[in-house]
Structure 1
Amino acid sequence: MSGPVLGTRPRLAREVAAGLLRASGVRVAEGDLPDGELLEVGGELACRISWAGPLGLAVGSEADVQAACGVMHVHGRRYGAPTPLRVDFASVAAGVLAATGALAALRARRAGTAYREVGVSVAQAALLGLAQYLAAATAPDREGAEPAGTGGPPFRAADGVWFELEALAADGWLRFWSELGVDRRVVGRAWLPFQARYGTAACPLPEELFAAARAVGHRRLARIAAECGVELTVAAARPGVLGGMPWRLRAGGAAGSGGAAGAASSPSAPPTRGPLDGVTVVEIARRVQGPLAGRVLALLGATVVRVEPPGGDPLRGVPPMTADGGAAGGGASGGVVHGAAAVSARFAALNRGKGVLEADLRDAEGRSAVRELVRGADVLLHSLAPAKVAGLGLDAGTVAALRPGLVYAQASGGGPGLSTDYPVQAHSGLAALLAPDGLPPRPTLLTVCDVLGGLVCAAGAVAALEARERTGRAQHVESSLLSAARLLCGAAGDPGAPDGGAEVCTDLGVLARDPRVAAAFEFGADGCAFVRAPWEFGT
């Protein structure tokens, strides 16, 4: 569970983990290890945090990890060369994962298993954060895996205001730029890189778009955006809120049969799947945040069933493709197995190992199938818009009647107009912290808020499961992209150059096949690389 003894210990990761555990009501004592950090959790569990864990990388700082594990490479795509990410992303992610693993082990102990320690490393956290990029880089058909072209948003208005745009549909994008006088052919050519930027971390756009924005004041631009169904977010010059608890947990009614408190008095052998073995999760989510949260819960041993529209999630078909989707199969009557079909490598990285139920939430039959699935679940995890939840019959009150004792985990953007990563970076002030010296607020195209938002959502769900075991009451937990951004804002600082002799990764495909990181990956039949669970549990 330890890596090379280099540099300083990962204190920030320990501080993040300890803060989250204490806020979850768990007693924590902090200590030092020769090569890492130690948390004594609840007086019964040792949580060890190191830089490299079981990996053979010579890393001893945040900068080393960012360099060796590809964070600088992916973040630097918009700049044309590996570039340090000016926030301790990997260390914060490791702290969240350490708290998640410890809470899961505590819950398992309360239920009668024998976990005594859990280990996680900053390097493994970084690789998990890059899971979709790593899968794309190792897919047999690498179309779009390593995109070329620098630059990208934000845009600058005539009055000097910097802003981000979000358009989730091509017609809104076309209407907005057409209103500004940009040729339709230019707008159409820009749509593909703009739409793909969440998966590629690159967004080279024609200069005509930036010039058109510079000709109009931001108030008029905001009006046009609203009329076209496009979100315009002004970039904050500095963060408004730093750190804080990234999820809100509150108790619901009495627990049902799946949430009874009171652990067995004599621990047994740990379950084979992990500390969440026996937990069933229903996931209704798109894009990155919610699916990554479900993936983390699956890596901890939970059975996760995704609800997808008829025909499957459209993101299944986004190249590059892999033949190894890794679906676990249907989790309920009417479930669909997609594992045998080719699927997007990026999608597989976030959804491998999950079951699938295809259901149309717009009709009564589909909603009935989902409600039946929820009746047998321990957790409902969703990222549905708050305005739509009640109409679908999936609000907390309604599902509590379906499944007493349910953990209701809700992931969101964090506010009106904050539905996706880059606007959240701009609004929170994170983009201002990340911008290189002398440049305006500039989000990283590495989806740091989506990734950390997914990790935070999973941590909140596990904290809720542990609280349910402890109190015997159902739990409702809420997290958001904005809360994740604020957690990162509290850990801002230029990591500088690698100081432990770490090599700078410039090719994720080469990295995934480096024997030194073999413990972090498993490979599909066609060679596509998927990141393993980042924890080591011991008894």
Structure 2
Amino acid sequence: MLFDTPDGRITCDIGWAGPLALPLGDEAGVQAACGIMHVHGRSAGRPRPLGVDYAGAVSGVLAVHGVLAAAIARMRGGATTGVRTSVAQAALLSVGQYLAAATASGDSTPHPRIPGGPPFTSADGVRFEIEAFDPEPWQRFWSLLGADRTTLADGWRPFLHRYATAVCPLPPELHSAAAAHVFHEIAGAAQAAGISLVRVRGGADMPAPGGPGGVAPWRLTPETPAQPGDPPRPRPAGAALPLEGLVVVESTRRVQGPLAGHVLRLLGAEVVRVEPPGGDPLRWMPPTVGTCSARFLALNRGKRVVEIDIKSAAGQHEVRELVAGADVFVHNWAPGKAASFGLDAADLQAVRPGLVYAHAGGWGRAVGAGSAMGGVEPLGTDFLVQAHSGLGALLRPRGEPPAPSLMTLTDVLGGLVSAEGVLAALLARCRGDGGARVDSSLHSAAEVLTASAVSGGGGKGPGQRLGARRPLWGPLHEPLPTRDGHLVLSSCARSAPERLAGVLGLAPGGDPGAAVAAHCRDRGAAELAGRLRGTGLDAVPVCTDLAALAADPRFAGVLETEGAAFVRSPWEFAP
């Protein structure tokens, strides 16, 4: 692709495999080889494809990052002419936290990989998701539904850690407690207990398609009054990365906000991370690399940390002092927190004219999410957003009940979308437009995926869209069990079962799909992939062990190991 800018032409190349020494050529193969099917399928007890072209969507955002960063570099005196990324690198970045945890050398207590978990179903057939950050509201809610205390104790820990593990083996008694009440009663219990609850939308209640083509998943609000501030800082002599010399201050938690800062750091910015006194509690979530959580490091390595109590007047003053020397400020605080701290966009742009101020939120401009709780907006978290946006339905084929993935899909894409908005605002600032506020959300990230599902994605994803919003899968769309694992067929192979059966030497007649599946069960995945390679009916063995993926020399060019495996920068810039 070619992009013409006022400062020259920039080329952008999106490949399938990138630096990976693997024969990848479609979304299904990338999801299989790079761990997405494995992580998404943990809650089912077997690898499963996502019903949307997730890796492709992430690679598209990464490509925009690269082009914007290259344009910024040119405005700051650089000579960057092109950028390259790949769908496989996007997939690995999306599972980076799970990969780091699976390869950490520190001791940890293994989490059980038992299928099951949310969502829950009421007595009148309504599927719903819940969210709570503290055990007390969780216990109150389930107690109101009649669950006993032992069950509550057994269920809280897997529920709390489902973000880190992508599994949630809850006691069956909790599902039974939900099934004993109609949804109206359950919604009342949630409101009384103080937890968040939303319906899992998937039928007639599916929302209208969001994020139409050409509409960015972030919103820029120019600084008022417009202040051009200082001219863009020139790139340091010998700089190799586009954002070198720029400073980002972030005050973020969990995944979405830290990932936005991580992306900006990979592009060369210095990132100063504000943490509470004593440090972010997630630093000690096992497994660890040394004394720090591997999962935390996957999002926060290389950032400079400053401990500040932002709830105090002195701490708020410290933040203003930090921002006075920065180009970007990023936070993902709850709605209203920034204003209560005196650290909203206008407050900080008064200190630093020309500042790019970014809020990575939960619901953004979404409406109706709080209807099940008397109009109270629920917590803006990944699984609730998947449920309400309709993404949880689009992930699974028609005929299956809708359910959000326990892989943090919108957290990851939401962080990338936030970084994209920051880069767009930085480029505008370089061109003399002054500072801006950047608003993005998990919900706007979900709309990127729901909109692409409606458009169909070119038929290369793991599910074919046949005029319906939910994907329609045939018998060969799921990973095929083999003697030593699973195998995923390419879109061409799935669409030609008779030819596939012939290539495998199977007798004609009968159901070719069933014959292929039976044939694969007695043979090795790599053996089958080798037989099909070069026939136009390719197949890819499914990764079901992230530690083995990290040890595979074919992935050496995209991973680095420092006590655990971490994903390298997904861009290559041409001078």
| TM class by smaller structure | 0.7 to 0.9
Structure 2 residue identity aligned to 1:203 = C
- 1:321 alignment partner in structure 2: 288
Matches within 5 A, 1:314-393: 314-323=281-290, 342-393=291-342
Judged with a 3 Å threshold, the aligned counterparts in structure 2 of structure 1 residues 146 and 206 are, in CA distance, closer, same or farther, namely: closer
Matched, 1:235 2:196: no
Task: Describe the superposition over 1:411-442 as per-residue Cα deviations: whole angstroms up to 9, x where unpaired.
Answer: 10015214100000000001111134422210
Cα shift at 1:57? 1.4
Q: Is the 8 A contact 1:240 1:429 kept in 2?
A: no
Q: Is the 8 A contact 2:39 2:47 kept in 1?
A: yes
Matches within 5 A, 1:63-142: 63-141=28-106
Judged with a 3 Å threshold, the aligned counterparts in structure 2 of structure 1 residues 80 and 487 are, in CA distance, closer, same or farther, namely: same
Distance (Å, rounded) in 1 between the aligned partners of 2:112 and 2:422: 35
Distance (Å, rounded) in 1 between the aligned partners of 2:442 and 2:179: 29
Distance (Å, rounded) in 2 between the aligned partners of 1:460 and 1:409: 8
Matched, 1:291 2:252: no
Q: Is the 8 A contact 1:141 1:321 kept in 2?
A: yes
Of 429, 434, 438, which aligns to 1:468? 429
Distance (Å, rounded) in 2 between the aligned partners of 1:144 and 1:468: 48
Matches within 5 A, 1:20-419: 38-42=1-5, 43-141=8-106, 143=108, 147-237=112-202, 238-244=206-212, 245-252=216-223, 253-255=225-227, 257-258=229-230, 260=231, 271-272=239-240, 274-323=241-290, 342-415=291-364, 416-419=377-380
Q: Is the 8 A contact 1:164 1:422 kept in 2?
A: yes
- Structure 2: 5+ residue runs without aligned partners? 365-376, 463-476, 478-487, 491-537
Cα shift at 1:268? 9.3
Q: Is the 8 A contact 1:249 1:477 kept in 2?
A: yes
* Higher mean displacement: 202-211 or 430-439: 430-439
Structure 2 residue identity aligned to 1:111 = R
Cα shift at 1:293? 0.6
Does the residue aligned with 1:451 lie in a helix, a strand or coil? helix
Sequence identity (%): 54
Q: CA RMSD in A?
A: 1.7
Matched, 1:445 2:483: no
Does the residue aligned with 1:386 lie in a helix, a strand or coil? coil
Of 480, 490, 514, which aligns to 2:552? 514
Q: Is the 8 A contact 1:256 1:403 kept in 2?
A: no
Matched, 1:532 2:500: no
Cα shift at 1:161? 1.0
- 1:425 alignment partner in structure 2: 386
Does the residue aligned with 1:204 lie in a helix, a strand or coil? coil
* TM superposition score normalised by structure 2: 0.80
Cα shift at 1:257? 4.5
Structure 1 residue identity aligned to 2:445 = A
Task: Describe the superposition over 1:15-63 as per-residue Cα deviations: whole angstroms up to 9, x where unpaired.
Answer: xxxxxxxxxxxxxxxxxxxxxxx23342511111100112111100000
Q: How many residues align?
A: 477
Structure 1 residue identity aligned to 2:390 = G
Task: Describe the superposition over 1:456-504 as per-residue Cα deviations: whole angstroms up to 9, x where unpaired.
Answer: 0011111110111113411111100000001011222651443233221
Q: Is the 8 A contact 2:244 2:270 kept in 1?
A: yes
Q: Is the 8 A contact 1:112 1:268 kept in 2?
A: no
Distance (Å, rounded) in 2 between the aligned partners of 1:190 and 1:146: 13
* TM superposition score normalised by structure 1: 0.86
Q: Is the 8 A contact 1:114 1:269 kept in 2?
A: no
Does the residue aligned with 2:39 lie in a helix, a strand or coil? helix
Structure 2 residue identity aligned to 1:364 = A
Does the residue aligned with 1:305 lie in a helix, a strand or coil? strand
Does the residue aligned with 1:163 lie in a helix, a strand or coil? strand
Structure 2 residue identity aligned to 1:39 = L
Q: Is the 8 A contact 1:125 1:534 kept in 2?
A: yes
Q: Is the 8 A contact 1:239 1:489 kept in 2?
A: no
* Higher mean displacement: 235-244 or 92-101: 235-244
Of 462, 465, 484, which aligns to 2:445? 484
Distance (Å, rounded) in 1 between the aligned partners of 2:326 and 2:161: 34
Judged with a 3 Å threshold, the aligned counterparts in structure 2 of structure 1 residues 511 and 239 are, in CA distance, closer, same or farther, namely: farther
Distance (Å, rounded) in 2 between the aligned partners of 1:92 and 1:517: 21
Does the residue aligned with 1:479 lie in a helix, a strand or coil? strand
Distance (Å, rounded) in 2 between the aligned partners of 1:50 and 1:78: 30
Structure 2 residue identity aligned to 1:537 = F
Judged with a 3 Å threshold, the aligned counterparts in structure 2 of structure 1 residues 112 and 159 are, in CA distance, closer, same or farther, namely: same
Does the residue aligned with 2:387 lie in a helix, a strand or coil? helix
Does the residue aligned with 2:435 lie in a helix, a strand or coil? strand
Cα shift at 1:206? 0.8
Distance (Å, rounded) in 1 between the aligned partners of 2:544 and 2:111: 10
Task: Describe the superposition over 1:336-378 as per-residue Cα deviations: whole angstroms up to 9, x where unpaired.
Answer: xxxxxx1111001011110111111121111111111111110
* Higher mean displacement: 313-322 or 249-258: 249-258
Does the residue aligned with 1:149 lie in a helix, a strand or coil? coil
Does the residue aligned with 1:473 lie in a helix, a strand or coil? coil
Structure 1 residue identity aligned to 2:134 = A
Q: Is the 8 A contact 1:136 1:145 kept in 2?
A: no
Distance (Å, rounded) in 1 between the aligned partners of 2:85 and 2:110: 28
Q: Is the 8 A contact 2:382 2:410 kept in 1?
A: yes
Distance (Å, rounded) in 1 between the aligned partners of 2:147 and 2:76: 62
Structure 1 residue identity aligned to 2:289 = T
Judged with a 3 Å threshold, the aligned counterparts in structure 2 of structure 1 residues 231 and 276 are, in CA distance, closer, same or farther, namely: same
Cα shift at 1:218? 1.3
Structure 2 residue identity aligned to 1:315 = L
Q: Is the 8 A contact 2:229 2:352 kept in 1?
A: no
Does the residue aligned with 1:490 lie in a helix, a strand or coil? helix
Cα shift at 1:142? 5.9
Structure 2 residue identity aligned to 1:234 = R
Structure 1 residue identity aligned to 2:571 = W
Q: Is the 8 A contact 1:410 1:478 kept in 2?
A: yes
Cα shift at 1:254? 3.5
